């Protein structure tokens, strides 16, 4: 499954429209290029409908939310829905402020979202209406562990049923679920948490994967999450004694570029619930 998802991206080179945050926009563009996709970054309300129309998928990231981009997110999302293009939502920092929380919840209410990808605190905020997001990071009290994995899977499936979206919860253990099935993924490394942008890159890559595999959004999202985790591991293996987090960030993008379907299948650590 992983191999098929990856190879479809490389064959099709899906064009993805990104309304994303300015902290990680360059990394998101490079990650999309590395995985085999093609990025367009555009958030001006005067052109977002046109840009979305020529793309295959839309990635909405609320990381640096402002009053200029919120209308653009709705306008691009509605156009993507009209054209049956998949929409990925990354609700960065939902729970940290009313603006972020209300915007993310409004987008879920008004748009047909293919995948919602966030950390456990962000997803809990959207599912429950309130949360304990610590800045843009998950609260430690929310983290998914082996002890609460079954409950976390049930929670993700229930939110998928209510929202109609695939739910991708990323952290030490990743959960990617629809209302009936969940992939629990055990790839990755804690060092991924000390650089900015791995989550944002993953959301952009997820948009490419669901665009290239439109009939299998759950499997496509799971493959994208596995890809990022495996690449985090490979980047760590490459680290030298003089390398730091900046090198690690670049090594992740290199690993995305060089990943093959065979290696992804071989290194993926997945359990199905």
> pLDDT tens digit string along 62-119?
999 999 999 999 999 999 999 999 999 999 999 999 999 999 999 999 999 999 999 9
What ranges do the domains of the chain cover?
A: 2-272
How high is the pLDDT of residue 130? 62
pLDDT, tens digit (0-9, with 9 covering 90-100), for 29-64: 999 999 999 999 999 999 999 999 999 999 999 999
The SS3 assignment for 16 reads strand
2-272 folds as: 3.40.1190
Give the end-to-end CA distance of the chain in Å, rounded to a whole number: 16
Query: Is residue 174 scored above 60 in pLDDT?
Result: yes
**16: β partners:** 39, 57
Q: Reply yes or no on whether the pLDDT at 137 is more than 60.
A: no
pLDDT of residue 146: 87
Q: Within 129-216, where are the H helices?
A: 149-163, 198-212
Torsion of CA 239, 243, 247, 248, to 10 degrees: 40
Q: What pLDDT does 100 receive?
A: 96
> Would you state the pLDDT for residue 129?
81
Q: Which residues contact 240 (CB under 8 A, 6 or more apart)?
A: 247
Give dist(CA 108, CA 167) in Å, integer.
12
Pairing of strands 57-61, 87-90: parallel
State whether the Cα torsion 19-39-32-52 is positive or negative: positive
């Amino acid at each position: 499954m992983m191999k098929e998802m990856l190879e479809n991206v490389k064959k099709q080179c899906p064009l993805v429209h990104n309304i994303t945050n300015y902290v990680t926009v360059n990394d998101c563009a490079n990650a999309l290029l590395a995985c085999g996709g093609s990025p367009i970054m555009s958030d001006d309300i005067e052109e977002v409908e046109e840009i979305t129309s020529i793309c295959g998928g839309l990635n909405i990231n609320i990381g640096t939310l402002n009053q200029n981009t919120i209308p653009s997110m709705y306008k691009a999302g509605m156009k993507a829905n009209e054209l049956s293009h998949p929409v990925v939502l990354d609700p960065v920092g939902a729970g940290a402020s009313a603006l972020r929380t209300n915007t993310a919840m409004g987008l879920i209410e008004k748009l047909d979202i293919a995948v919602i990808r966030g950390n456990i605190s962000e997803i809990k905020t959207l599912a429950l209406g309130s949360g304990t997001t610590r800045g843009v990071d998950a609260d430690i009290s929310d983290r998914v562990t082996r002890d609460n994995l079954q409950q976390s899977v049930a929670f993700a499936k229930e939110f998928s049923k209510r929202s109609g979206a695939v739910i991708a919860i990323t952290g030490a253990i990743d959960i990617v679920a629809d209302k009936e099935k969940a992939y629990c993924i055990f790839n990755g490394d804690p060092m991924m948490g000390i650089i900015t942008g791995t989550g944002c890159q993953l959301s952009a890559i997820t948009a490419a994967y669901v665009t290239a595999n439109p009939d299998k959004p759950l499997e496509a999202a799971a493959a994208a999450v596995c890809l990022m985790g495996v690449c985090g591991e490979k980047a760590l293996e490459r680290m030298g004694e003089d390398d730091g987090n900046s090198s690690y960030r670049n090594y992740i993008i290199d690993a995305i570029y060089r990943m093959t379907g065979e290696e992804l299948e071989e290194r993926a650590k997945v359990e199905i619930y």
